[in-house]
Structure 1
């Protein structure tokens, strides 16, 4: 029957690795298995872990073939290079071998399912060298199912091998992990994926631009299956060329909603130049072209990271990088210091998180980028404070455009006293911290940005009180504060001082002749709060 009458198989299934040579990106694991087979040191249980699509289940099937292959002449033994032509190899590849049992733990989670395996392992393999149990997503088994499996897993019959696969190894009990030989399958590098996709499109008689394959490899995030699924979609999306589809980078960007790298570079340039109008216009242009705000923020993050790596002297050349991009990265790296780059990264990362959860994504994106524009190129707050403290003129402060010291410079925001600090926290929406400082903090030393206190009552809010206070003060003043526990004596809390002043004022009022005469005439009378307030105001 011709291929035209065969049902279509998606690329992720069609190009599943048939031998260890086709398993890309896992050389260390293959070498370990090859040595174990060659020396006859085969474990009775293997655990494959890693993100989706890196080849965990495929590896388990390849191990099953390697252990049961008999060679074309039927006389071979276990080998890292199974022939693929003998009956065991073909039956395992087609999923019909009676001695190789695959079970999906997501739909067989109970102890009864495991009990069937425990009962069956006592019997020898029907036709294979080893009876093999492949359990996919093994972390989905119940606690009772794991417990039922433990004894058999530790001391299985010599003819039985267990092969487990999971994406969440942290959910597998330690008692199970200790009984398995573990292989951590790595994310597949983008360059290997792009090369693999090039072979696939060639086999499929499809033309594809190298940049398009590089984009797909980056979008796959280390997963061969995800990448092949995206490639499948890209081929279907592609326009027909001269007899064959042509997958272009532009079409892939449109399909995935990705920002054009050139447009992202222009956007970062506008961001660093401080051109507000042009920046907002470029953002809206990208949005009109179908680029998602989150994708735009991600692209800027990738560029900021790339510039930092170039600044650090690391070669980050990749197949999808153009000469223009390399030149732009080198130019930015030569102009920007590490401190501005780190602040740029932090601001973009915060903006990315805001856009991801925003009800108005494009508006949140614009506001986040405006914040980046006005804050990313500011000088280091510590350096500003040092220069202003030492009497340096404002024009000498790096990155400060105005020729006179701005009124909102970080040093101008430092409260002059402990009372002013508490008031500042209250006015800036940190009421709980402000109240606790007033009521429960005895002051030892106050020299901004240093604060030494001792708490009379524990903090019942979230996190450590000293760390939360330092973080709040840094957010408000822009300067790193040290808020620490006092070792020596401390002053009474502000609340205690106010109470003492109130008691002293009351005692003074009670000693006045008028009050004494009034209490003598009316023994049951009490001093009202209004009289205390009136006396205090006078």
Structure 2
């Protein structure tokens, strides 16, 4: 039985054209080789699993190839290419800076640089994870990196460019590797699946590519794991079950419930998701991304931002056509606020449920806004009655000092002018007291009790009257 080789090693690119998603870099390197304009030092930087070390090896093999093709690719048949493929090349050296990061390691490398290559035109040194070198090692490397022998070429690779000294950066040609696009990664996985005789669904490969977050090595590792899990039948359901990913269908059903203002159904869907072992924070983050995809589908210009398969894209088209942009924006804002306050909340489930309840009432708020009525005005009309007019208008006009009325319709007596002046107190230790008004002047009756002259309405009857008025206005 042959030993199993992981796909990341078995299908590692060996030519520039086979590198996935980095055409801007491979084309530059090929032109530099063709025009004989190679720099003495290169720095490849970018996220993990995007092809930095792979491109460094391809570059090293190509510039030492004895029979470079017309497309600027290594022949793979000359002595230099075969020795490199077998790991026995004396002209190409790889150094792991994570485990060889001291000054002594760099000094040994500098001593080796002085020896010309025994075979091939160049002597290439590939230093991986170069940001792990110590400060003293960087300083010892500076002079050699700036003025190496004509036959020496250094290729540095790192995932953390900001940790490298500026003096090192200024001596290198810097190539920034991009995250690999979902579409490119899914196509590459499809080619590998065909070579391996694995049956697959396009949606399953797209989910793997999205989960990899731009790293092809991560995608290939998940691919091997899922092929074993599904017994070489890679289905969408098998992928989401094994990778612990929420199905798109949950979010489509949830948005249907929100559009229909069915709060009970929305809460039941969320409860079902929690029962399957998913975290509430993971759910609300996925909902935010789902709302973003629906907004992206609204405009033809932004369709290229939708990284999903064709089947899922059709579902987004159908649902976005039935939802207004105002509802989607409001729901996205609510989801974003919930995601921010989720970690700091003691009752995290309540935070998500409250957000879902708010989303279910967005449609009503939009309808009221179209009619020119804000929800705040509706609440005020329901809760706060208008000021109640006094039955005896002559009494109010005759006594202007008694016409102050609060916003709740309850009259508030005002002190007479003789009482509003501040009395002087002979004793400074005692606080000054003010006389409370107890009587008011009423036309025809003289001074009488305020309560007797101004009747206070019952709040219960006022609320009932206002509810009837609001109902009649809505009709």
TM-score with structure 1 length normalisation?
A: 0.66
Q: Could you list the per-position Cα deviations for residues 282-327 of structure 1 after superposition, in whole angstroms to 9, with x for gaps in the alignment?
A: 0111233344434422332222111222233322464254365133
CA shift, 1:230, in A, is 1.0
> Helix, strand or coil: the match of 2:303?
coil
- Tell me if structure 1 keeps the 8 A contact 2:365–2:375: no
- 1:214 matched to 2:210? The reply is no
- Tell me if structure 2 keeps the 8 A contact 1:343–1:376: no
Mapping of 1:271-310 within 5 angstroms? 271-310=258-297
- Alignment match, 1:202: 194
- For residues 148 and 135 of structure 2, what CA distance do their matches in structure 1 show? 20
Q: Could you list the per-position Cα deviations for residues 161-206 of structure 1 after superposition, in whole angstroms to 9, with x for gaps in the alignment?
A: 1111111112222221111111111111111111100111111111
Q: 1:331 aligns with which of 316, 321, 336?
A: 321
CA shift, 1:87, in A, is 3.0
How many pairs are equivalent?
393
- For residues 177 and 85 of structure 2, what CA distance do their matches in structure 1 show? 21
- Alignment match, 2:372: 397
Task: Name structure 2 gaps, 5 residues minimum.
Answer: 383-421, 436-475
- 1:120 matched to 2:112? The reply is yes
CA shift, 1:351, in A, is 2.7
- Alignment match, 1:265: 252
- Alignment match, 1:129: 121
> Helix, strand or coil: the match of 2:37?
coil
Alpha-carbon distance change, 406 to 362 in structure 1, aligned in 2, over 3 angstroms: closer
- For residues 270 and 147 of structure 1, what CA distance do their matches in structure 2 show? 63
CA shift, 1:58, in A, is 0.7
Alpha-carbon distance change, 407 to 143 in structure 1, aligned in 2, over 3 angstroms: farther
- Alignment match, 1:42: 38
Alpha-carbon distance change, 291 to 127 in structure 1, aligned in 2, over 3 angstroms: same
- Tell me if structure 2 keeps the 8 A contact 1:67–1:78: no
- For residues 514 and 330 of structure 1, what CA distance do their matches in structure 2 show? 77
- For residues 377 and 155 of structure 1, what CA distance do their matches in structure 2 show? 72
- For residues 95 and 329 of structure 1, what CA distance do their matches in structure 2 show? 55
Q: 2:336 aligns with which of 349, 364, 379?
A: 349
> Helix, strand or coil: the match of 1:407?
helix
- Alignment match, 1:454: none
- Alignment match, 2:448: none
Q: Could you list the per-position Cα deviations for residues 444-481 of structure 1 after superposition, in whole angstroms to 9, with x for gaps in the alignment?
A: xxxxxxxxxxxxxxxxxxxxxxxxxxxxxxxxxxxxxx
> Helix, strand or coil: the match of 1:81?
coil
CA shift, 1:132, in A, is 1.3
> Helix, strand or coil: the match of 1:161?
strand
TM-score with structure 2 length normalisation?
A: 0.74
Alpha-carbon distance change, 201 to 357 in structure 1, aligned in 2, over 3 angstroms: farther
Q: Could you list the per-position Cα deviations for residues 65-117 of structure 1 after superposition, in whole angstroms to 9, with x for gaps in the alignment?
A: 1111123xxxx599731122233223333433232221222222222222222
- 1:104 matched to 2:96? The reply is yes
Larger Rg over CA atoms = 2
- Alignment match, 1:167: 159
> Helix, strand or coil: the match of 1:95?
coil
Alpha-carbon distance change, 369 to 86 in structure 1, aligned in 2, over 3 angstroms: farther
CA shift, 1:372, in A, is 4.5
RCO (CA 8 Å, sep 6+): is it higher in 1 or 2?
A: 2
Mapping of 1:144-159 within 5 angstroms? 144-159=136-151
Alpha-carbon distance change, 230 to 308 in structure 1, aligned in 2, over 3 angstroms: same
- Alignment match, 1:525: none
- Alignment match, 1:247: 234
- For residues 278 and 139 of structure 2, what CA distance do their matches in structure 1 show? 50
- 1:315 matched to 2:307? The reply is no
- Alignment match, 1:85: 77
- For residues 118 and 71 of structure 2, what CA distance do their matches in structure 1 show? 20
> Helix, strand or coil: the match of 1:119?
helix
Q: 1:16 aligns with which of 12, 16, 23?
A: 12
- Alignment match, 1:178: 170
Q: Could you list the per-position Cα deviations for residues 220-249 of structure 1 after superposition, in whole angstroms to 9, with x for gaps in the alignment?
A: 1111101111111110110x4xxxx21100
> Helix, strand or coil: the match of 1:406?
helix
- Tell me if structure 1 keeps the 8 A contact 2:297–2:317: no
- For residues 408 and 7 of structure 1, what CA distance do their matches in structure 2 show? 77
Segments of 4+ moved more than 4 angstroms: 76-79, 353-364, 371-379, 512-515, 535-538
- For residues 87 and 362 of structure 1, what CA distance do their matches in structure 2 show? 65
- More divergent stretch after superposition (88-97 vs 153-162): 88-97
- Alignment match, 1:407: 380
CA shift, 1:50, in A, is 1.1
- Tell me if structure 2 keeps the 8 A contact 1:65–1:82: yes
